[in-house]
Amino acid sequence: MSVVLPGAALPQSTPDPVTPRHVPHHGGEANPSVDGLRVQFGPAIGRHDVMWGETTVWVDVTRIREVMLWLRDDPEQQYDYLVDVTAVEHRDLDLPLEMVWHVRSLPYRRFLRLKATLDKNAALEVASIEPVYKAANWLEREVFDMFGVHFTGHSDLRRILMWETYAEGHPLRKDFPLRGRFSRSEQLSQALAANPEARYSMEELSVADAFHELPADMRARLAASVRTGET
Amino acid sequence: MSTTTRTLDVALSTPTLGSDGTIRHVPLTADARGTLMPIDMAPGSEPDMGSERMLINIGPQHPATHGVLRLVLELDGETVIRCVPHVGYLHCGFEKIGEYRQYNQIIPWTDREDYLNSMGNNIAYALSAERLFGIEITPRCTVLRVIAMELSRIISHLVWLGTTAIDMGAFTPFLWTFQERETVYNLWESWVGARLTTSASRIGGMAADLPPGWIDGLKGFLRSLPKTLDETDRMLTRNGIWVGRTVGIGVMSAAEAINYGLSGPLLRAAGVAYDVRKDVPYLDYETYDWDIAVGTKGDVYDRYLVRMEEMRQSVRIIEQAIARLPDGPINVDDPRVILPPKRKATSEMESMIHHFKLVMEGPRPPVGECYVATESPKGEKGYYLVSDGTSKPVRWRIRPPAFVNLSAISKMAEGHLLSDVIVINASIDIVMGEIDR
Amino acid sequence: MGLTPATSPSSVTYDPPSQDGWVTTRLEFLVNWARANSLWPMPFGTACCAIEFMATAASRFDLARFGMERMSFSPRQADVLICAGRVPFKLAPVIRRIYQQMPQPKWVISMGACASTGGMFDNYAVVQGIDTIIPVDVYVPGCPPRPEALIYGIMMLQEKVKQQRSIANQQQYDEMTIDPTSKLYIPPSRIDELSEPFGNSVHQTRSAP
């Protein structure tokens, strides 16, 4: 079994990476993938920024899956590693919600940040990139849990950090208070009422026998594929 | 007398080994007197006996899950058909709280997420915040941070080693590794005052400089650690039970590992030589002479070997760092972020005001965002900070390596036996504090 | 009191010491001594305190000298539940169920600031003290408490165990129900109002200066 070496697609004469020093706040060389993206996707690519040595590209949120597929598969890009999927909501509540994807190309030793805005007045929906990177599975579930963004095409979009019937909302939104919306005693009652072993997803309960043992209302809900845990 | 046979349609069978070694269920029938006898079946056909699979639940309270992890397993006998992990039992709202704390006040939180690598987290966060502020740290601080991060890597791997061995029934290495950790705890305590949750870094420097004699204590530790590692190595590496329980278990190929976003020893054991210290260096790691340990098969045994080797390489790095540790100030001389010395703050008006503002309001970075990745013992640990110019971040995102690594456990555990699930779980080196944040 | 005993008034009430027989007192002493020196802990370890607990159990601080080296991960065989670490709301029903599964006599040590009061996590996710869910006997402060501190807490628990009047009085093991009609009863919502943070801690919940 051969070893996969990062930087394999770079020419042999490329020097090894060094610790960056005196990185400027703005300016510097942009990631070459930006040009490639503009050529490939044209108007779907918005502005780009180089800040603290990192390139951020703004992408049309409806085209994100194609962009990710191209970034992963194109031989000039080869962004094979998904680092992170997250979202940012600014303190100025008029600004839209930003989705952030961090991808890394191991063969080319590049790092790219992709951003897309989601209008808070409309439904927060984005195509899931789980078919592109399996790493997105849990990362997107967490964004759903914390921000309420729905990822269409995700195999199992449920809350991951809070319990599935958590009713207070999506914690990392700026209108969610630090201590939660309910009083401490109410939070405690709701938490104690949740049966820690009762929540199984449809995926887990595809075993026929176990399904018949569930209470009737849960069976009906699961059979109708109603997602639990949303507000 | 003719016997009437009837096939019972409840799952009544007897398990038997088929010609290919798999378990086959031979259906039984009962004759008129109720004696059970097997039905002769054509080879290769398997009756539809209905599902005999069990859904069992491990955790969230369980000794071998290394924290509050809940695994739901669908088992066919002892074989795992599907493994679904449930996390969130230690979700404590770190990222939310980060939005309500000044940049220096977030440092104690970084201790508590991956609590086995607290010094490493402190420094990783400080690196990210310093990038956001646009601060260059002093040479002494750079080298000292390397020493601290590598020591932190060693003690994290020691916990991993001890707890993984204990999960597989080898009780003694646990005591050896924890005894080694006590030496490092003494070092941490004499330096920053705390054993486990160190909060050692600050934006622009460290909480304190080294006390006298600290380096000698460190040298003593570096002499005793390889002996413990050798002892553990002798006990485990060629041990029949260890090898039998770890070789070929939980295999992830290189392409799968990259697509699943694995990092750290899991990725390197799969044969991908990606180490953040080499590929996206920080703190001058490229100037030290050390190697990455890369495995070949991607199974649990390779992960064990990779981590053992990483500890030895960390010793190598620390020895070089001690040799080149320069004198000089440990904190950068920037009044925007570093508190003035106490005697000035209590005597000069300007220093007092500057101290007051830094404590009450906190240092304020320019508007912007940055992501700095470091190599924690679990994998690629990065902090993504977004600033709007105020003293508290808009978003503090922790990129949790163990979270992404754990999501692959369903892939790793399929087809293995129940006891292998415990071994695979141990090999991922999870820390629920980081996974759930 | 706001609490009423669950048993009927005709059951045995507390006997003052002078009426205890010599044999009963000696037997009680023996039983308490045996219990105190072989408290099998159930480590409900969640976070950093669990690592300090493991360090306490390891060779340098050695819980085995207290008879506590046998960690019972099954609550059915445990005496003392040591809650080491922060307990989020998702984990709350789990710890309550574990506590209910422990047989009497049982004690609880709340190890660390997070288990005792919620610690530094005064937010939507963390239970502000496990004593809101289960009764606690000893609180060990610290973040994390040093192993010596935990051992001090364990020794305090041993003192408590040794003072139990275990044979003569079964009533102490009955879990009392809350009497909402009592004058001293305060409803939980009112407790929340009274315990709103005051002073400097209010500023900790402001998002930006």
- E-strand spans in B150-221? 201-202, 205-206
As a whole number, mean pLDDT of residues B411-419 equals 89
The secondary structure element, H or E, covering residue B218 is helix B214-236
Q: How confident is the model at residue B76 (pLDDT cuts 50, 70, 90)?
A: confident
**Residue C11, domain member (yes or no):** no
**Residue C191, domain member (yes or no):** no
Q: How confident is the model at residue B25 (pLDDT cuts 50, 70, 90)?
A: low
As a whole number, mean pLDDT of residues B195-221 equals 94
A40: number of Cβ within 10 Å: 17
DSSP C134-155: S--SEEE-SSSPPHHHHHHHHH
**Residue C2, domain member (yes or no):** no
C171 touches C7 (CB < 8 A)? yes
| Number of domains into which chain C is organized | 1
C120 at the B interface (CB within 8 A)?
Answer: yes
A177, A183, A195 ranked by CB distance to C189: nearest:
A183
pLDDT of residue A200: 56
Over residues B219-233, the pLDDT tens digits come to 999 999 999 999 999
Q: CA geometry: angle at B400 spanning B395 and B404, to 5°?
A: 125
A162, A177, A186 ranked by CB distance to C90: nearest:
A162
Residues in chain C closer than 8 A to A186 (CB atoms): 189
The highest-level CATH class for domain B86-436 is mainly alpha
**Structural domain that includes position C162:** 20-178
Cα B186 from Cα C47, distance rounded (Å): 21
At which residue do the structure tokens 């939660």 appear?
A: A180
Q: How far is B256 from chain A (nearest CA, A)?
A: 9
Q: Give the type of residue at A32.
A: P
Cα A79 from Cα A74, distance rounded (Å): 8
As a whole number, mean pLDDT of residues C1-25 equals 55
Instruction: Give the lowest-confidence range in A176-180, B172-176, B283-287.
Output: A176-180
Cα B227 from Cα B89, distance rounded (Å): 38
**Residue C137, domain member (yes or no):** yes
Percent of chain C with pLDDT over 90: 43
DSSP state, B64?
G
Residues in chain A closer than 8 A to B131 (CB atoms): 23, 52
CATH of the domain at C115: 3.40.50.12280
Instruction: Give the lowest-confidence range in B33-47, B364-378, C51-65, C181-195.
Output: B33-47
Cα B418 from Cα C2, distance rounded (Å): 50
Q: How confident is the model at residue B40 (pLDDT cuts 50, 70, 90)?
A: low
Question: Do the Cβ atoms of B392 and C208 come within 8 Å?
Answer: yes
Q: How far is A87 from chain C (nearest CA, A)?
A: 18
A212 at the B interface (CB within 8 A)?
Answer: no
Tokens of residue A90, six digits? 């600014």
The highest-level CATH class for domain A33-161 is alpha beta
Q: How confident is the model at residue B287 (pLDDT cuts 50, 70, 90)?
A: very high
pLDDT of residue A201: 53
Instruction: Give the lowest-confidence range in B20-34, B337-351, C66-80.
Output: B20-34
Question: Do the Cβ atoms of C92 and A188 come within 8 Å?
Answer: yes
Over residues B129-146, the pLDDT tens digits come to 999 999 999 999 999 999
pLDDT of residue A163: 85
Q: How confident is the model at residue C169 (pLDDT cuts 50, 70, 90)?
A: low
pLDDT of residue B405: 95
A226 at the C interface (CB within 8 A)?
Answer: no
Q: What is the pLDDT along chain A (231 residues), one digit of tens a residue?
A: 578 888 888 888 888 899 999 899 998 888 999 999 999 998 999 999 999 999 999 999 999 999 999 999 999 999 999 999 999 999 988 999 999 999 999 999 999 999 999 999 999 999 999 999 999 999 999 999 999 999 999 988 888 999 888 888 999 999 898 888 888 888 888 888 876 665 555 445 544 445 565 667 666 665 664 444 332
Domain with CATH 1.10.645.10 in chain B: 86-436
Tell which residue, B140, B138, B204, B209, has the closest CA to residue B338.
B204
**Residue C6, domain member (yes or no):** no
pLDDT of residue C198: 56
